[in-house]
Amino acid sequence: MNYCNTFISKVKNILNRHLLLKKGERILVCVSGGVDSVVLLYVLNSLKSDLIKIITSLGIGEVVYTIVRWSLQYYLLQIEYDAYLASIISQMISTVVYMIVLNLSVKMSRLYKDDT
């Protein structure tokens, strides 16, 4: 048995022993692209027969946040806003946009039921 299979077996045993995932539960996995996130996704993908659904977000919200923040901050600096004020305003607006994108991605993935 190679290291990957041993690691996956250990993760599966921990999940079962501590009842971390109950049958029928849905989970959301956000992957940042870092080593730990990619390993988590790899392990969960290996266990997907035991999970009903694995939903991954490949950083779409973070990409949108970064684009909105940099673009808006650049624009505000071009129209001669104070640098500190441009940074604060762009961060606030891009955070709101990020939350909207995150909310839409969760709704589109049907991770939760909306009774309204």
User: Do the Cβ atoms of 70 and 78 come closer than 8 Å?
Assistant: no
Distance CA 25, CA 16 (A): 13
Place of tokens 């009903």: 52
Q: Is the pLDDT of residue 9 over 50?
A: yes
pLDDT tens-digit series, residues 27-76: 776 666 566 776 777 787 777 654 444 444 446 778 888 889 999 999 99
pLDDT of residue 97: 93
User: Do the Cβ atoms of 87 and 72 come closer than 8 Å?
Assistant: no
58 class by beta-carbon count within 10 Å (0-12 exposed, 13-18 middle, 19+ buried): middle
Q: Quick count: other Cβ atoms within 10 Å of Cβ 90?
A: 21
Indicate the pTM of the whole model.
0.48
pLDDT tens-digit series, residues 75-85: 999 998 898 99
Q: Where are the beta strands (DSSP E) in the chain?
A: 27-30, 54-57
pLDDT tens-digit series, residues 90-115: 999 999 998 898 888 777 766 555 55
